[in-house]
């Protein structure tokens, strides 16, 4: 029988490493960070660069981005059941609106993402949050544990391994439910709209299937390139890495629990190099290899800012996706047969029961997305009992990141119009 559990209090043992060996890996990790910091300090920021943009250790960058275009902004905090402290940003109405009768909507980012993803493109270049605010929505921008806005806990220190003992399973079990409850309480409403990109779709599947009482709180879920099924995943660079590290999971968890290791120097190094004229094209090519081709505006104007504010994640998040890819099953963390039996009551983790999700779900995906395969989207849509829309962006160069950075008319307008005309219960 499927037991609803949190895996955050399980695992994370350094049993595969002796104390001396673990100490050595910690020292190597520290040496790497210190070396990068020293190298970065020797490289000046390019003239005219945005290197003075705040890294985002507080809430400055988010409110600045919103207020820059004349939108109201608010900062809110919510504490999860397992005591992580999350930051939510709110755009209560558009530039001309009053917020009266605005419909609440929660937007959630993907892996290596944060709330800025939905506003960083600017008012005229595809930022979905501004479009929604100007069209009668009370916009709430969510953040999940571990990103630069959510490195807090009532008891745990973010510089310790115990803080990072989570995957996206815990985000679906704790972060998303807490955020939804908070928004509904503050807006004094019973239901809201939801938009989730990539991992934002993953955690919605988890919450809706394992906490079914939350299904009644969602009017419509619009999932943008949602990550769930990976049977047809064939990324030319990432797929071989997944297969290479499949037997190294525990070592990686024990030695690199925060990924990439937190370093202001690493951030400055990447930003300064990628903003320089000589290396900007090289950085864009690396971006293309990993994410796919994108518009010149994204590569030249947004890429340095995105890299500068790229959050760290728990190493368990990408590794968990790797487990899903290798097993062919969308399911919780696999600890091995013995521990699985202790936690789940079975030797293999049970699949998430997504066929029990009755929430109306609209899925948006693209032929140019090398992270989420159209065939996998078709399969998961067939398994969802109330998949009310499957919208395909047919532009070959529309990649996984373009869903948040370059949506414009080809994506954002269809999302908006479908929500405004949706009459489902």
Q: Domain residues of the chain, as ranges?
A: 19-421
- What is the mean pLDDT of the segment spanning 12-31? 44
- Eight-state DSSP code of residue 262: P
Strands (E), 8-79: 74-79
Q: How far apart are CA 75 and CA 110, in angstroms?
A: 20
Give alpha helix (H) positions in 151-194.
168-170, 176-187
Share of the chain above pLDDT 70, in %: 76
What's domain 19-421's superfamily in CATH?
Alpha/Beta hydrolase fold, catalytic domain (3.40.50.1820)
The predicted pLDDT at position 268 comes to 62
Q: What is the pTM of this model?
A: 0.85
**pLDDT for 216-227, tens place per residue?**
999 999 999 999
Furthest-apart CA atoms within the chain: distance in Å:
62
Classify the phi-psi angles of 101: left when phi > 0, otherwise alpha if psi is within -120 to 50, otherwise beta. Answer: left
Q: Report yes or no: 196 and 226 within 8 Å, Cβ to Cβ.
A: yes
- What is the mean pLDDT of the segment spanning 60-88? 90
Q: Report yes or no: 135 and 416 within 8 Å, Cβ to Cβ.
A: yes
Query: Rounded to whole angstroms, what are the CA distances from 302 to 49, 51, 107?
Result: 12, 13, 20
Beta partners for residue 389, in sequence order: 362
**Residue 317: enclosing H or E segment and its boundaries?**
helix 316-327
Q: How far apart are CA 330 and CA 229, in angstroms?
A: 6
Query: Rounded to whole angstroms, what are the CA distances from 73 to 95, 118, 393?
Result: 11, 14, 31
Q: Is the pLDDT of residue 289 over 90?
A: no
Active site residues: 198, 369, 400
The predicted pLDDT at position 247 comes to 80
Q: Is the pLDDT of residue 332 over 50?
A: yes
Q: Is the pLDDT of residue 19 over 80?
A: no
3-state SS class at 407? coil
């Amino acid at each position: 029988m499927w037991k609803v559990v949190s895996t955050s209090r399980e695992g994370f043992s350094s049993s595969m490493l002796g104390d001396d060996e673990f100490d050595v890996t910690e020292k190597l990790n520290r040496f790497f960070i210190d070396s990068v910091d020293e190298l970065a300090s020797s490289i000046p920021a390019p003239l005219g660069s945005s290197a003075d943009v705040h890294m985002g250790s507080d809430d400055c960058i988010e409110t600045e981005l919103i207020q820059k275009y004349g939108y109201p902004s608010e900062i809110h905090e919510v504490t999860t059941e397992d005591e992580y402290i999350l930051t939510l940003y709110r755009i209560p109405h558009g530039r001309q609106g009053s917020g009266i009768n605005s419909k609440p909507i929660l937007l959630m980012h993907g892996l290596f993402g944060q709330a800025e993803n939905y506003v960083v493109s600017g008012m005229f270049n595809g930022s979905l949050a501004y479009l929604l605010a100007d069209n009668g929505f009370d916009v709430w921008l969510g953040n999940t544990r571990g990103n630069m806005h959510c490195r807090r806990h009532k008891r745990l220190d973010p510089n310790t391994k115990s803080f990072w003992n989570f995957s996206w399973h815990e985000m679906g079990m704790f972060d998303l439910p807490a955020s939804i409850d908070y928004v509904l309480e503050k807006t004094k409403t019973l239901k809201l709209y939801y938009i989730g990109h990539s991992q934002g779709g993953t955690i919605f599947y988890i919450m809706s299937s394992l906490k079914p009482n939350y299904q009644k709180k969602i009017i419509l879920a619009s999932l943008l390139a949602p990550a769930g099924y990976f049977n047809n995943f064939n990324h030319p660079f990432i797929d071989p890495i997944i297969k290479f590290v499949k037997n190294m999971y525990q070592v990686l968890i024990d030695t690199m629990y925060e990924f990439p290791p937190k370093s202001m120097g690493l951030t400055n190094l990447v930003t300064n190099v990628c903003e320089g004229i000589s290396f900007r094209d090289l950085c864009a090519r690396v971006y293309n290899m990993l994410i796919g081709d994108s518009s010149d505006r994204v590569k030249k104007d947004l890429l340095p800012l995105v890299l500068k504010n790229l959050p760290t994640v728990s190493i368990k998040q990408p590794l968990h996706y790797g487990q899903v890819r290798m097993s062919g099953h969308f399911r919780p963390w696999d600890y091995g047969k013995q521990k699985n039996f202790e936690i789940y009551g079975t030797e293999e983790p049970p699949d998430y029961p997504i066929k029990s999700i009755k929430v109306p779900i609209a899925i948006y995906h693209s032929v140019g997305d090398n992270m989420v395969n159209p065939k996998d989207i078709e399969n998961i849509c067939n398994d969802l009992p109330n998949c009310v829309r499957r919208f395909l962006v047919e532009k070959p160069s529309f990649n996984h990141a373009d869903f948040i950075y370059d949506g414009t008319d080809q994506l954002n307008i269809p999302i908006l119009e479908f929500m405004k005309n949706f009459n489902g219960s």
